[in-house]
Amino acid sequence: MKQTVVLKVDSQQPDIEKVRVAADIIREGGLVAFPTETVYGLGADALNQKAVLALFEAKKRPMDNPPIVHVENIDDVYRLAEQVPPKADKLMRKFWPGPLTLIFKRSEIVPDVTVAGLDTIAVRMPQHAVALALIRESRRSIASPSANLAGKPSPTSAEHVFDDLNGRIDAILDGGPTRIGVESTVLDLSFDPPLILRPGGTSLEALRRVLGDVKLHPFVVAEKELPIEKTRSPGMKHKHYAPNAQVIVVEGGISAVITKVKELAESYRLKGVKVGVLATDETKAAYRAYVVKSLGSRFNLAVVAQNLFRLLRELDAEGVDVIIAEGVPTEGLGLAVMNRLRKASGYNIIKAE
Ligand code: TXA
Ligand code: MG
């Protein structure tokens, strides 16, 4: 067991002394969790093989699923990537710092473990003062997957990180809850049109406005488990975002969804199963269950995204056996929300009509 130090910092103007304590840990090969605009990341020096190995171990992450490397200036991309296509240059200028991860051919300075033996590397520049200060002060590129135990919902607060990783990592920079709540969008530019491998904080619509056509990888919109061969992003094939409770997603028109959720909740209740309903502001009054929580308004999907992972964790903490979640529209951040919910359910999706 390690002693995990929690360093509270202001999210806008972090105390530089505390950031330096964390940066020194990164430079010495240690592990530091820190806030980004999406979710908390667990950072290690990306070019230090031992540190990255320790990172996989702390998260219990499968070794074939590489982390995203975080930078605080565009020059660093040119050291990590063998080549930077013009489209990438355009995207970096437009969307960075921000929730967009780009896949590049990797350069030779990157150790195999950091990219799980692939010939590509995932890079992004986070839009968070604490994350940027940590990268700057450590003078390192920071490999950083989400700071949860593998398979658990991503952490949107320092408390979530603490619950999963206390005793397994050196420090947590606590900068309060994260703003976006779902992870970055992962985009592969080696395809024409470019391919979204994971929908996230940068919407498909926003990318299309800049790039023209952009496609979604079949996994992203899958309504059932797809065969592994179709996998492009290593993370796609691993169990993800799952709370302990079994998740069921009910999709369809709003009134049909309400009827179906009620019916399911009632039949579980009669069997003595503890049900948690993940509803929205517009629908929550319709349900009676052991716990009912609202993701926010169906008309504000950014708020729904912000609340999703926290509420999945809260429902687990309340000890529910089954979570029945309403589907939300797949527009804007709703696409990322539905991708995470469907995965969390193991594709246990019910179409209400
Ligand atoms: O918002 C985020 O992206 C957060 C914060 C901490 O920055 N990070 C995050 O990292 O979500 P992680 O490791 O949980 O997810 C990284 C995703 C995985 O799905 C992984 O498979 C994919 O990026 N990935 C990493 N390297 C890749 C590569 N070379 N090619 C394709 N996908 C890759
Ligand atoms: Mg993750």
Mean pLDDT rounded to a whole number for the chain: 95
Q: Which residue has the tokens 């190995």?
A: 53
User: Which band of pLDDT confidence, cut at 50, 70 and 90, is reported for residue 242?
Assistant: confident
Tokens of 301: 């999907």
* Per-residue confidence (pLDDT) for residue 243, from 0 to 100: 80
Backbone dihedral region for residue 241 (phi beyond 0: left; psi -120 to 50: alpha; all else: beta)? left
Eight-class DSSP state of 304: H
**With bands split at pLDDT 50, 70 and 90, how would you rate the model's confidence at 241?**
confident
pLDDT at 226: 78
Q: What is the pLDDT of residues 7-54, one digit of tens each?
A: 999 999 999 999 999 999 999 999 999 999 999 999 999 999 999 999
- Whether residue 193 has a cis bond before it, omega within 30° of 0: yes
Are the beta carbons of 117 and 75 closer than 8 angstroms? Answer: no
Cβ 233 vs Cβ 216: under 8 Å:
no
Rounded to whole angstroms, how far apart are CA atoms 242 and 192?
33
Instruction: Please state the separation of Cα 77 from the chain's center in Å.
Output: 21
**Residue found under tokens 């490397």:** 69
Alpha-carbon distance values, 77 to 43, 144, 187, 304, 350 (Å): 17, 15, 15, 32, 43
For 54-71, how does the pLDDT look when each residue is reduced to its tens digit (9 = 90+)?
999 999 999 999 999 999
Nearest of 121, 116, 339, 353 to residue 226 by alpha carbon:
339
Residue of 31, 68, 230, 232 to test ligand 1 pocket, by largest number of atoms within 8 Å of CB? 68
CA–CA gap between residue 204 and residue 259 (Å, rounded)? 31
pLDDT of the residue at 17: 98
Ligand closest to the CA atom of residue 130: 1
**Rounded to whole angstroms, how far apart are CA atoms 223 and 209?**
27
Q: What is the pLDDT of residues 81-106, one digit of tens each?
A: 999 999 999 999 999 999 999 999 99
Pocket lining for ligand 1, CB < 6 angstroms? 36, 38-39, 41, 65-68, 99, 101, 103, 115, 118, 120-122, 126, 144-146, 183-184, 186, 197-198, 233-235
pLDDT in tens, 115-127: 999 999 999 999 9
Q: Which ligand is nearest to the CA of 184?
A: 1
Instruction: Give strand ranges (E) for the chain.
Output: 5-8, 32-35, 40-45, 69-70, 100-105, 120-124, 142-143, 171-174, 185-188, 195-198, 215-216, 246-252, 275-279, 291-294, 322-326, 349-352
pLDDT band at 254 (very low <50, low <70, confident <90, very high): very high
Band (310; pLDDT cuts 50, 70, 90): very high
Write the CA distances from 107 to 47, 115, 118, 123, integer angstroms: 11, 11, 11, 12
Q: How many degrees, rounded to 5, is the angle at CA 79 between CA 77 and CA 81?
A: 65
Q: What is the pLDDT of residue 238?
A: 65
Give residue 76 CA to ligand 1 midpoint distance, Å.
18
Is the pLDDT reported for residue 231 higher than 60?
no
Model's pTM, two decimal places?
A: 0.96
